[in-house]
Structure 1
């Protein structure tokens, strides 16, 4: 892959901005045609999705449906929308594969969410597999590894991380 760290960082910052601005359909468009959005169980980031309950295990069609659903008034848990602020830290390219034209990228994240006078904080690691599709960066896989003991006090994940 012939993209610099700066281009990859800019891409990830753009993704975070789309999510914070609730531009979820534009966010879904960042994924490749075979893109996956994954949130494995807390404490078991390599769990087999056939044997463990994931918070999210979405292929491209499912993540598009999730994005559209969260934008509707009927999605009561997120209407009106939460306010979020995302921070990405320690962005690093872990592997470049010229053969498959892909890059494995890892970074730490903090996402703050406020809603109904409550503040929730999600922290963890994001693992991406990025590819070039029509000479544009696309997400082939995004795995959200939560570094929490539990989902307390929030109790759930109602936003896209």
Structure 2
């Protein structure tokens, strides 16, 4: 088997894990800083953002109940709502700490498939809650920058009663 020539090599072939990790850390920093409008700019217009129910992490949004199943329009509406005083669950905003680790990637064509583990701490009203799970991303390079085409946050928690809800963006 021969290596692809430069002409045949996909545009994302030169991406490194360090570059992907830096991108994911920057995304986490935007979320922790409640810079949601800037966070939304990381996404391609044909985005899918999913959070399946914790009892069916392999759920198919076409036939199964999802906690979140957003396209770009719904995700933008979610950001607008979270930035307003009308999001009673998140006003004043929670303090969060998004931790991303065990990043793995695989390039295929013009996309990069990424998996990473996450822990998201949420601090609000004297409580601390912890969300744990796995991210699945499909990233693309557009105008020299990595962009999110797909993001899925699969919760590893067996019970959501301890955290009560998923009002923050994982």
Query: 1:145, 1:17 → 2: CA distance?
Result: 20
Match 2:57 to one of 45, 55, 62: 45
Who is 1:32 aligned against?
44
Who is 2:167 aligned against?
158
Matched residue of 1:68: which SS?
helix
- The superposition leaves residues 69-127 of structure 1 with CA deviations (integer Å, 9 ceiling, x where unpaired) of 1010111110000000111111111x211x3x111011110000010001100000001
Query: 2:62, 2:139 → 1: CA distance?
Result: 24
Query: 1:38, 1:74 → 2: CA distance?
Result: 23
Count of residue correspondences: 158
Matched residue of 1:44: which SS?
coil
User: Could you tell me how far 1:45 is from its partner in structure 2?
Assistant: 2.1
Query: 1:51, 1:130 → 2: CA distance?
Result: 25
Q: What TM-score do the two structures reach when normalised by structure 2?
A: 0.90
Q: Detail structure 1 runs of 4+ shifted over 4 Å in the superposition.
A: none
RMSD of aligned alpha carbons: 1.0
